[in-house]
Amino acid sequence: MAYVTNAGVPLWYDVCGDGPPLVLLHGRAGNAASWWRQVALFSRTHTVVTYDQRGFGRSPCEKDDFNAEMLAPDIAAILDAIGIERAALISQSMGGISAMRFARDYPGRTAGLIVGSSLAGITPKDIRGRLAERERANTVTLPDRAFAPGYSAREPLLYELYKQILAFNTCFSPAWRSRITGSAASFGAEDFDSYAVPTTFIVGAHDQFFPPSFVHEVAAWVPGATVIDIPDAGHSPYWETPDLFNEIVLNWLGANAVW
């Protein structure tokens, strides 16, 4: 466990295991601790890097320091501190924005990209309109919205653990999310003209943030990208169906990542 400072923000990170490097990027409702069921398995065969993104967990920052432009350089700063030149990225929700920005800005350092439960910052005007419409109609809030309907009753102990990990994020304000989304931060089709990073999207059939139809639509923008649908999960397959999620990730990395 260590810190590296990038653009004035201290970034907490941890490294364990040995083998081809993986970086795990959490979502808005999580932090590095969210990946407990992935780290235990992945570190048997890979070097696993987890970190609290700026503004989350043990990486506090001010509002003005939370912006889209710093998401990719933060990853690069951590990899540099560890001495890793090239890594595969596994992301969840908001982490998909950070991961896609890194893959776009540092393609030579990206062995592969897994975008979990995210549109990866690809939000053209029509999609933003449909997302806004969904938000106006939505009556479910975190943490329930992070799962398929009924999860809290099916898994009350894991649901409570998720709530506790979410509570670690004492610095981040949900209003900050607008600083990394919207028209100014969205990728356009031209951003993928020369894109060649092996990429797949993973989405749960019951995702209450980004339904599969949205994910399939944005994945079509990314050259060579595939989509893997998980039938019995919502917005958090890594948490809801970890055995299946982990198997999918390791199989995909084995067949597609280029370290």
49: pLDDT confidence band, cut at 50, 70 and 90? very high
pLDDT at 190 over 90: no
Instruction: Report whether 186 contacts 123 (CB < 8 A).
Output: yes
Instruction: Extract the tokens encoding 119.
Output: 């549109």
Of the candidates 183, 182, 17, 24, the residue with the CA atom closest to the CA atom of residue 99? 24
- State the Cα–Cα distance between residues 211 and 205, nearest whole angstrom: 7
The answer to whether 98 touches 163, Cβ cutoff 8 Å, is no
pTM recorded for the entire structure: 0.97
In the predicted structure, residue 182 carries a pLDDT above the cut 90: no
90 and 24 in contact (C-beta within 8 Å)? yes
Rounded to an integer, the average pLDDT of 150-157 is: 98
The answer, yes or no, to whether residue 189 has pLDDT greater than 90, is: no
Is residue 21 reached through a cis peptide bond, with omega within 30 degrees of 0 on the bond before it?
no
Q: How confident is the model at residue 129 (pLDDT cuts 50, 70, 90)?
A: very high
Q: How sure is the predictor about 93, in pLDDT bands with cuts at 50, 70 and 90? A: very high
- Stretch 49-61: mean pLDDT, rounded? 98
**97 pLDDT above the threshold of 90:** yes
- The whole-angstrom separation of Cα 205 and Cα 192 is 26
Tens digit of each residue's pLDDT (9 = 90 or more) over 205-239 = 999 999 999 999 999 999 999 999 999 999 999 99
